[in-house]
């Protein structure tokens, strides 16, 4: 499915400001994968302290934004709708470039094996076609 007619992130995942790191979803194949983005305005409070005079997006927040897109793809599948997906682990994380205020972080996620209890996925975050972060995700389900 492409962006037209897709629900907003807040309609699918439970995250809210100040911990919503997914601005929009451009395409989703429920239970399989998705593409989306996070527009970094520079007004985000973490930039003030990470780092003063040289604001940089924390790498763990790149992983979180990939995970939020993964949750969107997962919870878009009818069999998982309304569930709560939590981190079970992050593996093979690599940070390739700095992400700055004003950047658009493009996100891609592919979901792997899933069960009613847990699953796997992998994703990337990039800026202007340059990979900034890549990681493998493990998630577990909790009652919502």
Alpha carbons 108 and 49: distance in angstroms, whole number: 28
* Residue 50 falls in the annotated catalytic set: yes
89 alpha carbon, distance to own chain's centre: 14
Alpha carbons 6 and 94: distance in angstroms, whole number: 30
Catalytic residue among 23, 50, 84, 136: 50
Q: Is 131 exposed, middle or buried (0-12, 13-18, 19+ CB in 10 A)?
A: middle
Catalytic residues: 50
């Amino acid at each position: 499915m492409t962006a037209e007619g897709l629900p907003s992130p807040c309609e699918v995942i439970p995250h809210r400001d100040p911990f919503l790191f997914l601005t929009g979803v451009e395409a989703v194949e429920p239970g399989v994968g998705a593409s989306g983005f996070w527009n970094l305005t520079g007004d985000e409070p973490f930039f003030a302290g990470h780092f003063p005079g040289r604001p940089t997006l924390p790498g763990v927040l790149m992983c979180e934004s990939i995970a939020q897109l993964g949750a969107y793809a997962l919870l878009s599948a009818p069999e998982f709708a309304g569930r709560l997906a939590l981190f079970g682990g992050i593996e093979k994380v690599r940070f390739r470039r700095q992400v700055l205020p004003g950047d658009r972080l493009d996100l891609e996620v592919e979901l792997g094996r899933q069960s009613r209890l847990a699953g796997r996925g992998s994703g990337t975050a990039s800026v202007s076609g340059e990979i900034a972060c890549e990681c493998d995700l493990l998630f577990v389900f909790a009652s919502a």
